[in-house]
């Protein structure tokens, strides 16, 4: 069954306490290569029926209306998942 | 500054209440194309210094040791972010 991936991140100007917590933990655990971390969300939508451009358009609409909060988040990608 | 994207999803056999909640909301809001939804996490790591293969290896290590819980989650991707 075809799947669509939706990626959502906090807007750059929005504080991201989860990302900050991870960024603080990494150097304590020996990972010193990373200056900052942001944490967002990744959704996989399983498509019922035909995988066509209209379904992808509907996923884009769902991404901006349901899967993200446009006040604080950006939809950074909506794409078909590679078959695994 | 170079960024690495880490994508983490709940394992297929693990219940995903957030994904289930989204899957239940979508048809009520007019999105009937999707049979199931899974919700995971997406991290962006900002790389301090040179962007080379060793840093990507460190990100893979951080992904499996810090950014995911291997009991319930899979790291599905660790890759360089496209320059935006």
Which residues of chain A lie closer than 8 angstroms to B19, CB-CB?
A: 43-44
In percent, the amount of chain A with pLDDT more than 70 equals 98
Chain A 15-54, CB below 8 Å of chain B: which residues?
19, 22, 25-26, 29, 31-49
Residues 6+ apart with CB under 8 A from B73: B8, B9, B10, B11, B14, B40
In percent, the amount of chain B with pLDDT more than 70 equals 98
**DSSP letters of chain A?**
--EEEEEEEE-TTS--HHHHHHHHHHHHTT--SEEEEEEEEEEEEEEPS---HHHHHHHHHHIIIIIS-TTTEEEEEEEEPPP-
Is it the case that residue B68 has pLDDT exceeding 90? yes
Contact B19/A43, CB-based, under 8 Å?
yes
What is the spatial distance between Cα A66 and Cα A2, in angstroms, rounded to a whole number? Answer: 20
Check which CATH number belongs to the domain holding B36 and give it: 3.30.1280.10
Range of the domain at A57: 3-80
What is the spatial distance between Cα B53 and Cα A48, in angstroms, rounded to a whole number? Answer: 39
Is it the case that residue A67 has pLDDT exceeding 90? yes
Confidence band of B72 (pLDDT split at 50, 70, 90): very high
Confidence band of B17 (pLDDT split at 50, 70, 90): very high
Q: What is the ipTM of this complex?
A: 0.94
Q: In DSSP terms, which residues pair with B17 in a beta bridge?
A: none
Contact A35/B26, CB-based, under 8 Å?
no
**Number of separate domains in chain B:** 1
Q: Which of B25, B45, B47 to mutate to test the interface with A (most CBs of A within 10 A)?
A: B45
Is it the case that residue B83 has pLDDT exceeding 80? no
Q: Which two tokens stand for residue B22?
A: 């989204």
Strands A73-80 and B73-80: unpaired
Q: Which of A5, A21, A39, A44 to mutate to test the interface with B (most CBs of B within 10 A)?
A: A44
pLDDT at A75: 98
pLDDT at A1: 85
Is it the case that residue A27 has pLDDT exceeding 80? yes
pLDDT at A84: 56
In this prediction, residues A42-47 reach a mean pLDDT of 98
- Establish if A72 touches chain B: CB-CB under 8 angstroms: no
């Amino acid at each position: 069954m075809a799947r669509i991936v939706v990626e959502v991140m906090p807007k750059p100007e929005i504080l991201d306490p989860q990302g900050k917590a991870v960024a603080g933990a990494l150097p304590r655990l020996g990972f010193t290569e990373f200056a900052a971390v942001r944490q967002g969300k990744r959704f996989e939508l399983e498509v019922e029926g035909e995988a066509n451009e209209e379904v992808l358009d509907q996923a884009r609409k769902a991404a901006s209306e349901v899967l993200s909060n446009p006040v604080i988040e950006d939809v950074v990608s909506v794409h078909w998942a590679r078959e695994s």
